[in-house]
């Protein structure tokens, strides 16, 4: 669905969480987790080539004009993929998350977005940062299958998606990090991954 420019956002016919994203954007990370949660949502594809994300209608949702962003039925909205993952995890948690668990999930999400991503995808950082980041991650993943409490969580969505973007976007040899490669394989085997990031 495309966002109509100049026209106020339409009221939803079937109220449900809306996720705004572009064709190839980090909205896929949020999509992956929404599929894991198996909750109904509406994906609103912005035509980023036509700069729909910079039009007033979307700037009312994210004033910085970046995706992903989500909008709840009552109009409440949130942007930044990591913040959205955390919100969804808390909202749909079967039992309330402890302060320590929330902090650890945040730690890994911020690590993914502020340390791992820039360390690998910013070319000027790669040579210096990638070996130390992936060597440590490899050691951690030799000991455990998932990042927090050894069970699948948004920490794995955040870190796993960044790792799985590597073969899609860069030609890098990850063979020195076999536990990282095994972890990536574990992520790609998940059906929610295959329906979302795995389709790219």
Least distance from ligand GSH to the Cβ atom of residue 113, Å: 5
* Closest separation in Å from C-beta 50 to ligand GSH: 12
Give yes or no for a contact between 95 and 81, defined as CB atoms under 8 angstroms apart: no
Contact set with ligand GSH (CB under 6 A):
22, 25-26, 53, 65-68, 80-81, 113
Please, which residues bridge with residue 45 across strands? 21
User: Nearest distance from residue 112's CB to ligand GSH, in Å?
Assistant: 9
Residue (80 or 129) nearer to ligand GSH, CB: 80
Nearer to ligand GSH, 118 or 176 (CB): 118
d(CA 122, CA 130): 10
Q: How far is the CB of 114 from ligand GSH (least distance, A)?
A: 9
Dist CA 73 CA 135 (whole Å):
43
Dist. CA 38–CA 47, nearest whole Å: 26
User: Smallest gap, in angstroms, from Cβ of residue 89 to ligand GSH?
Assistant: 15
Looking at the Cβ atoms of 22 and 160, the one nearer to ligand GSH is 22
Tell me whether residue 53 or residue 190 sits nearer to ligand GSH (CB atom). Answer: 53
- For ligand GSH, which is the closer residue by CB, 147 or 177? 147
Spatial strand order of the sheet with 69-71 comes to 41-45, 17-21, 69-71, 77-79
Q: Please, what is the minimum distance in Å from the beta carbon of residue 81 to ligand GSH?
A: 3
Which one, 42 or 80, has the nearer CB to ligand GSH?
80
């Amino acid at each position: 669905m495309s966002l109509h420019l100049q026209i106020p956002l339409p009221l939803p016919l079937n109220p449900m969480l809306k996720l705004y994203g572009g064709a190839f954007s980090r909205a896929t990370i949020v999509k992956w987790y929404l599929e894991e949660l198996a909750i109904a949502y509406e994906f609103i594809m912005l035509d980023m080539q036509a700069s729909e994300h910079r039009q007033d209608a979307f700037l009312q949702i994210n004033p910085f004009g970046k995706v992903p962003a989500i909008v709840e039925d009552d109009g409440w909205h949130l942007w930044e993929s990591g913040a959205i993952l955390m919100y969804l995890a808390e909202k749909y948690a079967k039992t309330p998350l402890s302060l320590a668990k929330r902090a650890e999930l945040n730690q890994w999400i911020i690590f993914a977005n502020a340390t791992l991503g820039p360390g690998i995808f910013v070319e000027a950082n790669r040579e210096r940062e990638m070996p130390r980041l992936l060597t440590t991650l490899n050691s951690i993943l030799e000991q455990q299958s998932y990042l927090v409490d050894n069970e699948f969580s948004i920490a794995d969505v955040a870190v796993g998606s960044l790792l799985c973007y590597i073969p899609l976007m860069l030609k890098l040899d990850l063979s020195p990090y076999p536990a990282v490669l095994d972890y990536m394989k574990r992520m790609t085997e998940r059906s929610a991954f295959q329906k979302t990031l795995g389709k790219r």
